[in-house]
Amino acid sequence: MHRSDVGEADRLLTVLSRERGKLRLNAKGARKVGSRKSGHVELFVRSRMLIAKSRGEIDIVSQVEMLDAYRGLREDLTRSAYAHYAVELIDAFAEEGSEQAELFDLLAEVLKWIETTNNLPLTARFFEMKLLTLAGFQPQVFSCSAKGEALQEIAPDEFYGWSPASGGALCPAHAQDRSDSSRLSLNALKVLRHALRADYANFTALTLRDAVLSEIEQVMLRYIQYVLERKVRSVEFLNLLRREAGNV
Ligand SMILES: [Zn+2]
């Protein structure tokens, strides 16, 4: 039996299991424990699954018992869009065939956070830092990613640099040496550091100006897309939703 998570379709599922990492499973004909209804396995659920070895390439879900339905994610379009984003990132970093206990726990945690938080943007930033740290890609925010010297406090009209290829933040001098470096404000740097030091409750209790929120979102996305070497697809829908709601 595998406690498992997150389907992508009602038949062919991509599941994150604690013990065996990412699995592709066929859920056709799966029998729900405690229910006569057969078949349907939804997106964003945590389930206990009984998996039957198949002669083909894809093993079969023979029984499924839902442990957490994260109902609040399905009833709210914005929360659902954030959940898609989190799952897309987890999927991108998860490996097949090896234990992924920490990633599994993070996924279970972030879905609960997204279901219940009143600060979705900071929840997403906190999750991104946790995920990058777990995956071995924690960005450098305490020292200059060019030469490793400690980052000194800068004047309010100065900027650090941000270079995903270099590994994170840059001191103002080294930022000038790199053409791929974008500006990073002192406030944004402080928030990124806080995301690494604080716990979830403390971090998401921060009140930030929209400009800083938007800045940290952009630097983190640029960093993640550099690490993944591709665009994060679910971001477009998230941005569309927020534009329509009038709060970017
Ligand atoms: Zn430097």
List CB-based neighbours of ion ligand 1 within 5 Å: 144, 146-147, 171, 174
- The dihedral through the CA atoms of 209, 210, 215, 221 has a sign that is positive
Asked if residue 95 belongs to a domain, the reply is: yes
121 & 241 share domain: yes
Asked if residue 205 belongs to a domain, the reply is: yes
From the CA of 161, how far away is ligand 1's center (Å)? 9
From the CA of 117, how far away is ligand 1's center (Å)? 37
Listed in sequence order, the residues at least 6 apart from 184 whose beta carbon sits closer than 8 Å to its beta carbon are: 159, 160, 161, 162, 169, 170, 215, 219
Bridge partners of residue 161, in order along the sequence: 170, 183
What is the distance between the alpha carbons of residues 149 and 47, in angstroms, rounded to a whole number? 47
The total number of residues shown for the chain amounts to 248
From the CA of 166, how far away is ligand 1's center (Å)? 11
CB 63 within 8 Å of CB 31: yes
From the CA of 37, how far away is ligand 1's center (Å)? 61
75 & 128 share domain: no
Asked if residue 112 belongs to a domain, the reply is: no
Q: What is the pTM of this model?
A: 0.89
From the CA of 203, how far away is ligand 1's center (Å)? 27
Listed in sequence order, the residues at least 6 apart from 39 whose beta carbon sits closer than 8 Å to its beta carbon are: 10, 27, 28, 29, 30
With cut-offs at 50, 70 and 90, classify the pLDDT of residue 36: very low
| Residue that finishes a domain, picked among 107, 128, 144 | 107
Q: What is the extent of the structural domain holding 76?
A: 2-107
Per residue in 220-237, is it b (16+ CB within 10 Å) or e — as a string? bbebbebbeeeeeebbee
Query: What percent of the chain lies above the pLDDT cut of 90?
Result: 69
What is the distance between the alpha carbons of residues 247 and 241, in angstroms, rounded to a whole number? 9
What is the distance between the alpha carbons of residues 30 and 227, in angstroms, rounded to a whole number? 37
From the CA of 187, how far away is ligand 1's center (Å)? 18
**What does the pLDDT look like over 106-133, one tens digit per residue?**
999 999 999 999 999 999 999 999 999 9
From the CA of 65, how far away is ligand 1's center (Å)? 53
Q: What CATH number is associated with residue 202? A: 1.20.1440
From the CA of 155, how far away is ligand 1's center (Å)? 16
122 & 79 share domain: no
**What does the pLDDT look like over 170-205, one tens digit per residue?**
999 999 999 999 999 999 999 999 999 999 999 999
